[in-house]
Amino acid sequence: MKILITGAHFTPAQAVIEELQKEPDIKITYLGRKYTQEGDKSLSVESQILPKLGVKFIPVIAGRLQRSFTIYTIPSLFKVPLGALQSFYILLKDRPDVVLSFGGYVSVPVVISAWLLSIPIITHEQTLVSGLANTINSWFADKVAVSFPNHEARQNSKQVLTGNPIRREVLEPGGFGDEEIKKIAQLSDNGKLPLLLVTGGNQGSHVINLGVLGVLRELIDVACVVHQTGDSKFKDYDNLKEMQKTLKKPERYLVRKWLEAEEMGVILEGTDLVISRAGANTLLELAFLGIPALVIPIPYLHKNEQMVNAKYFEKLGLVRVLLQKELNPENLLSSVKDMLKNLPKLKEEAKEAGKVVVPDAAKRLALETILLANEDTPT
């Protein structure tokens, strides 16, 4: 069986890929972004990780409809027909048995091409509201897998509740971390300092990185900090790495461009508090583990989806929300200190959020994908 996977939400995709690879005779190809974003030549995480997993990765030319005019607007529009032609050619040549989409603008030409070629399609929605790409994809998909029972879309014959896939390394951390990771985890335990994880997801968050840069000296006075910066044209990793050299206690700070799944599993196992965006993937992993978080939702997404996520998980007791317009080093530091003071209570509240997690979501989505492919196979 040949399964073609596409999309920009790589964390759940990786979880499903690992589940599909347990089955014999399944060949997986991934169509995705070569770079993290337009105007930035930093390689995407998926383009670097997938070959290590034995998955063929094909970069796709993709353009997106921008909500404001920038220097990338016109070039992006020209990429739309190029991406459509490229996707159609790849699918025509490869003829997969099914296409599994994880949203993002890169997935749209792939999904439409699959529909034109009568290849069955399943698209997965991670968040509580559908983004623009997934809204378009759902028109062409045979199945729409959702993560929450109270998703905004009305129940219909296409929709199936699978939950949001969580990486195996987070569900069952195997203790595989390099010496730096082991050292800072041990330092946190021995010194009885809380372990603070800062992450903006695989792409990182420039605004969060800037906030941390402004108060890093104060942060390491109250916590050991692991910081995933992402890799971008802003050179946040380089700037923070340089600042680390000037710290009185540099051993309390570990900065990486990204963390492999196994490394993230080990770190989360010992994490007390997280600073992050409000992506559904991140929040569901934290809900499963019962780790409280300070979240800064991205304010400009379609239907304000990250704020919807943040408010939902705030009601469940998992997160506290700091608006991006109010984010500055001083507010960031005071919010972290306040949460650390109330950490035992916050951890108890965070445990309750685990009730919305579907632990076997990766298995469910893998099964739905295989079933859809088999439905279309002649007997």
129 plus 266 within the same structural domain: no
351 plus 365 within the same structural domain: no
Which tokens belong to 1? 């069986």
Give the model confidence (pLDDT) of 43-57 as tens digits.
888 999 999 999 999
- Strands in 27-32's sheet, in edge-to-edge order, are 56-59, 27-32, 2-6, 98-101, 121-125, 143-146, 159-161
What pLDDT does 157 receive? 80
Contact yes or no for 12/281 (Cβ under 8 A): yes
Per-residue pLDDT at 70 exceeds 90:
no
53 plus 186 within the same structural domain: no
239 plus 311 within the same structural domain: yes
Which band of pLDDT confidence, cut at 50, 70 and 90, is reported for residue 38? low
Q: What is the CATH number of the domain that holds 180?
A: 3.40.50.2000
**Cα angle 169-170-173, degrees, rounded to a multiple of 5:** 60
* Tokens 């997106």, located at residue: 64
226 plus 330 within the same structural domain: yes
What pLDDT does 378 receive? 54
Give the model confidence (pLDDT) of 203-245 as tens digits.
889 999 999 999 999 999 999 999 999 988 899 999 999 999 9
Which band of pLDDT confidence, cut at 50, 70 and 90, is reported for residue 76? low
Q: What are phi and psi of 148, to 5 degrees?
A: -125, 140
What pLDDT does 75 receive? 62
For residues 159 and 138, give the distance between their C-alpha atoms in angstroms, rounded to a whole number.
9
Nearest alpha carbon to residue 102 among 327, 281, 337: 281
Per-residue pLDDT at 379 exceeds 50:
no
**Most confidently modeled range among 20-29, 180-189, 298-307:** 20-29
47 plus 69 within the same structural domain: yes
DSSP strand pairing (40-43 vs 35-37): antiparallel
154 plus 177 within the same structural domain: no
Which band of pLDDT confidence, cut at 50, 70 and 90, is reported for residue 107? very high
Distance of CA 177 to the CA centre of its chain: 20
**Most confidently modeled range among 154-158, 205-209, 262-266:** 205-209
Residues making up the annotated binding site are 167, 306
Nearest alpha carbon to residue 216 among 91, 329, 374, 331: 329
141 plus 231 within the same structural domain: no
What pLDDT does 39 receive? 61
297-330 per-residue burial string, b: 16 or more CB within 10 A, e: under 16 = bbeebeeebbbbbbbbbeebbbbbbbebeebebe
Per-residue pLDDT at 153 exceeds 60:
no
Per-residue pLDDT at 155 exceeds 60:
no
Contact yes or no for 292/273 (Cβ under 8 A): yes
What pLDDT does 190 receive? 79
Each as own residue / partner, the long-range contacts of residues 321-326 (CB below 8 Å, 24 or more positions apart, any chain) are 321/278, 321/295, 321/296, 321/297, 322/294, 322/295, 322/296, 323/296, 323/297, 323/299, 324/207, 324/296, 324/297, 324/298, 324/299, 325/299
What pLDDT does 226 receive? 97
For residues 81 and 61, give the distance between their C-alpha atoms in angstroms, rounded to a whole number.
9
What pLDDT does 77 receive? 65
Per-residue pLDDT at 196 exceeds 80:
yes
143 plus 181 within the same structural domain: no
Which tokens belong to 23? 């089955």
Q: Name the percent of the chain lying above pLDDT 70.
A: 92
Average pLDDT, integer, range 296-314: 93
13 plus 147 within the same structural domain: yes
272 plus 242 within the same structural domain: yes
* DSSP-assigned beta bridge partners for residue 5: 30, 100
Lowest mean pLDDT of 59-73, 94-108, 358-372, name the range. 59-73
Q: How many domains does the chain have?
A: 2
Mean pLDDT score across all residues of the chain: 91
Residues making up the annotated binding site for UDP-N-acetyl-alpha-D-glucosamine are 167, 306
Q: Residue 313: give the domain boundaries.
A: 170-356
193 plus 334 within the same structural domain: yes
* DSSP-assigned beta bridge partners for residue 30: 5, 57
What pLDDT does 61 receive? 86
Nearest alpha carbon to residue 177 among 265, 78, 108: 265
